[in-house]
Amino acid sequence: MVDDLKFLFRFRDLVAKTVESHQSVIDKHGATWWGWWKRPSEDNRAEIWDALAKATEANPIAVGLFDSGGGRVYRALVTAIIPPEEHGELVKPPIDRDLVPSYYRESPFSRAWMRLTHIEPMNEFFGNYSFRKAPDLPNYRKELLQRFVNKKITEPSELRGMDLTIWEIRPSVPTDPSDKILLTTHALPAAVTGEVVRLKSNTILHITDLHFALDKFRDHHVWRLESEVEETANTLTSALKAAIGAKQIGGVIVSGDLTFLGATAEFEEALNSLNKLLGLLDLAPDHLIVVPGNHDIQWSTDDTYAPGAKVTAAPAKAKENYEAFYERLFQHPPSKHLAMGRRWLLPSGLTLEIAALNSSSLQTGKSFLAGMGRIDEASLEEVRIGLGWPAASEPQSSAALRLLAIHHHLAVTEDIEPDSGFSQGYGIAVDAVRIQRMAAKHRVQLA
């Protein structure tokens, strides 16, 4: 028998074992609180929460939980809710905090809460339920969205393609159409593009040298990892959110060294953390800029470096882990030079044109140019063209504030560092003066 489900909630089962964690609380206490995180394009869905509140006053109500990571749907029984605030602020967790799973008990930043007493998998969801209302999505024609009304939900990809966390649904009837309609979440299509992205705040958050690390290098990342769900210490994201407080952030720039070794597992931790940070700040990937640092590119290893060997760019394999991480984060391939170019419009009316360049284009190792950087000139040229800047030889006229974001310092090195120090490494770009002059020719004003 098909349940009369009216609402389907989305979650991403990538960071923690979400269902298992909540189920273990139910097994121990008989109930658990489930926090709701909205998508940046969603409002607080007041009509949904009002309906749930009225329904649970009389009897528990069943809802669906969609795991967008694994494509599974679960049936959950809701007995109470804590609705979102009128203006969409973060809602504090309930008093009975023991009913919140430990991995977000101490740092929950949810917009609303549901009290659940039962969770079970639904083996026959797709094809048996239909959309009751058209999804409310920006950037799509109304005529297209109306096609979803009374249409069967055929597969997980139909839901994944919508930038939503709640759908109004109903059991299907034989006359419901079953054609598949796949949407794609509106996002910037490339690493370098001049398309304007509107920010919700004039404040930009800049973070660097996160150094997510595992195993014997674990101490190089001082915060709890998102995957360490049984711990209660602050993660990097929860510490950042606590420091930011109620201040709204418009965009985030991460200027390299996300990892310690550039390993796949470290990039997985970085991906989970940045996705959570975007959720906490109510931002989308369009509001994020990331460039690699020397720890993120596996240029060389001590046991393969031969003294006197020619210093060259690393082979393509050195960049593979970073490139895979980037594509999962932004849903488009990285640029050839691992650069990014963005045009952000602030509420103040100021436009920021950001050239984010990879300064780790030089082979490094334990005793040769360790930690130092160099910027490939073609990287800046790629961003210049993508943002529509004139060539350096042409007149430069722009009301935008142009920024240069890189991992390595641009301190002058020619006169203050002895030649012998260049083999030790100071986290600086060996071509800093050249890059500053190049940037100045394009009227870059801040680096």
Task: Indicate the CATH number for domain 192-446.
Answer: 3.60.21
Q: What is the value of pTM for the model shown?
A: 0.73
pLDDT at 103: 76
Helices (H), 79-202: 142-146, 156-160
Give the pLDDT mean for 309-332: 77
pLDDT at 106: 66
Fold classification of 7-171 (topology level): ph1033 like fold (3.10.590)
Give the pLDDT mean for 158-181: 93
Q: Do the Cβ atoms of 21 and 69 come closer than 8 Å? A: no
Query: How far, CA to CA in Å, does 365 sit from each of 79, 148, 294, 311, 315?
Result: 58, 56, 10, 10, 15
Domain edges within the chain: 7-171, 192-446
Confidence tier at 342 by pLDDT (50, 70, 90): very high
Dist CA 300 CA 298 (whole Å):
6
pLDDT tens digit sequence for 55-113: 999 899 999 999 987 899 999 999 999 998 876 566 777 778 899 988 777 665 688 99
Pairing relation of β-strands 340-345 and 192-198?
A: parallel
pLDDT at 327: 92
Supply angle C-alpha 340, 346, 349, rounded to 5: 125
The residue ranking higher by pLDDT, 161 or 355, is: 355
Judge whether residue 302 has pLDDT over 50: no
Confidence tier at 319 by pLDDT (50, 70, 90): confident
pLDDT tens digit sequence for 127-140: 999 999 999 887 78
pLDDT at 406: 93
Lowest model confidence (mean pLDDT) among 5-9, 115-119, 273-277: 273-277
Mean pLDDT (the chain) is 85
Q: Which residue, 39, 68, 13, is CA-closest to 279? A: 39
Give the pLDDT mean for 163-173: 95
Burial-class residue 5 by CB neighbours within 10 Å (0-12, 13-18, 19+): buried
